[in-house]
């Protein structure tokens, strides 16, 4: 006990002799480290859905779209949708057939429930279905969705569903057409401008049906007075497509707007609207429309409009 003070004396430093790593041990450790990193990467990909779907077929993708992991179903849907949009017109490799369509429609039903907020997934799913070979089955599902959810669904889903119907073209089925006309009437009063624009576009696909004069014409006439210019344009073009003259005043105003566009930078929305109108006028047999297009082709100051007008004029051969 008399030597307690000695405990304050620092202990001598102890040096541990570490064995040198041999070349053999390094040769073993490097591959192990690489394998560990690869395994970690695979686990992350599996967990979060950061995957490439390049080699997946439509049957596998339709299953992945219903995956419980949001990241996987979102990536599968957006990848498939973008590949469908960019595929060659004659390619049907990714076009949903009967089996895939049934699977996709089950997922589409969930838009009303658990996946309500997943806009990217939902909009991609609708886009994929709009390419389906089962157009009547998909149209019926889309119309039912619009009819049942016109008041409470997210406006993005209403818009994309309407655009999907515009691409599918409404089938010659009186029940689907009647339900659609009822849904369009309700949606034409939407506070969301994108929905009203889409309503005008879809309404134009119903020309030639028995319901056009009875129900659709009234909807288009109301949309001709819409405060949004694009909605008015879509309504006027829908009437033009149906061979009606009610949209002439709006159409003349739109053509005058195209006349005023110059060679300088034109706002994208104005240019898109001008090209859309030009494409529609090119299908019109009216002489006044054909003369206006020829005038734009000859001397419009904006190159894109002038070029589009030239391409729309039929080539006459001697």
Of 189, 215, 239, the domain-final residue: 239
Residues 233 and 295 in one domain: no
Report the pLDDT value the prediction gives residue 78, as an integer from 0 to 100.
Answer: 86
Of 239, 272, 288, the domain-final residue: 239
Give a yes or no: residue 108 inside a domain. yes
Residues 141 and 97 in one domain: no
Give a yes or no: residue 21 inside a domain. no
Report the pLDDT value the prediction gives residue 192, as an integer from 0 to 100.
Answer: 94
Report the pLDDT value the prediction gives residue 23, as an integer from 0 to 100.
Answer: 52
- Give the CATH number, domain containing residue 169: 1.25.10.10
Angstrom distance (rounded) from CA 74 to CA 71:
5
Count up the domains in the chain and report the number.
Answer: 3
Report the pLDDT value the prediction gives residue 196, as an integer from 0 to 100.
Answer: 95
Give a yes or no: residue 7 inside a domain. no
- The boundaries of the domain holding residue 279 are 247-318
Report the pLDDT value the prediction gives residue 32, as an integer from 0 to 100.
Answer: 65
Residues 117 and 140 in one domain: no
**Torsion 244-140-162-145 (CA) sign:** positive
Say what the pTM is.
0.75
Residues 128 and 139 in one domain: no
Of 197, 214, 239, the domain-final residue: 239
**Torsion 251-257-262-263 (CA) sign:** negative
208: left (phi over 0), alpha (psi -120 to 50) or beta: left
Give a yes or no: residue 70 inside a domain. yes
Task: Please tell me the total number of residues recorded for the chain in this structure.
Answer: 318
Report the pLDDT value the prediction gives residue 243, as an integer from 0 to 100.
Answer: 86
Tens of pLDDT along the chain (318 residues)? 444 444 344 434 433 444 455 555 555 566 666 666 656 554 544 444 444 455 577 888 888 888 888 888 888 888 888 888 777 555 667 889 999 999 999 888 877 655 556 788 888 999 999 999 999 999 999 999 999 888 878 888 999 999 999 999 888 888 999 999 999 999 999 999 999 999 999 998 888 888 888 889 999 999 999 999 999 999 999 999 888 889 989 999 989 999 988 877 788 888 888 998 899 888 888 888 999 999 999 999 999 999 999 998 865 434
Residues 149 and 234 in one domain: yes
Residues 181 and 257 in one domain: no
Give a yes or no: residue 1 inside a domain. no
Give a yes or no: residue 188 inside a domain. yes
Give a yes or no: residue 23 inside a domain. no
Give a yes or no: residue 36 inside a domain. no
């Amino acid at each position: 006990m008399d030597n307690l003070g000695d405990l304050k004396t620092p202990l001598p430093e102890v040096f541990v002799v570490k064995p040198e790593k041999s070349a053999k041990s390094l040769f073993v450790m490097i591959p192990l480290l690489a394998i560990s990193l690869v395994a970690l990467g695979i686990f992350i990909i599996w967990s979060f859905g950061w995957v490439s779907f390049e080699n997946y077929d439509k049957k596998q993708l339709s299953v992945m779209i219903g995956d419980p992991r949001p990241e996987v179903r979102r990536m599968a849907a957006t990848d498939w949708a973008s590949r469908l949009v960019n595929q060659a017109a004659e390619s049907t490799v990714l076009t949903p057939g009967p089996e895939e369509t049934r699977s996709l429609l089950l997922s589409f039903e969930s838009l009303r429930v658990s996946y309500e907020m997943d806009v990217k997934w939902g909009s991609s799913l609708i886009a994929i279905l709009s390419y389906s070979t089962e157009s009547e089955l998909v149209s019926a599902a889309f119309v039912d969705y619009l009819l049942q959810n016109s008041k409470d669904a997210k406006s993005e889903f209403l818009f994309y569903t309407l655009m999907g119907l515009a691409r599918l073209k409404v089938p010659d089925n009186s029940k689907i057409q009647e339900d659609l006309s009822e849904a369009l009437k309700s949606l034409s009063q939407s506070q969301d401008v994108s929905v009203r624009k889409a309503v005008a576009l879809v309404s134009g696909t119903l020309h030639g049906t028995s319901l056009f004069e009875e129900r659709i014409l009234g909807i288009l006439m109301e949309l001709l007075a819409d405060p949004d210019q694009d909605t008015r344009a879509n309504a006027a073009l829908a009437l033009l497509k149906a061979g009606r003259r009610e949209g002439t005043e709006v159409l003349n105003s739109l053509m005058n707007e195209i006349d005023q566009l110059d060679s300088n930078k034109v706002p994208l929305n104005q240019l898109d609207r001008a090209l859309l109108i030009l494409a529609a006028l090119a299908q019109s047999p009216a002489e006044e429309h054909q003369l206006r297009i020829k005038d734009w082709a000859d001397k419009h100051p904006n190159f894109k409009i002038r070029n589009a007008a030239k391409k729309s004029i039929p080539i006459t051969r001697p």
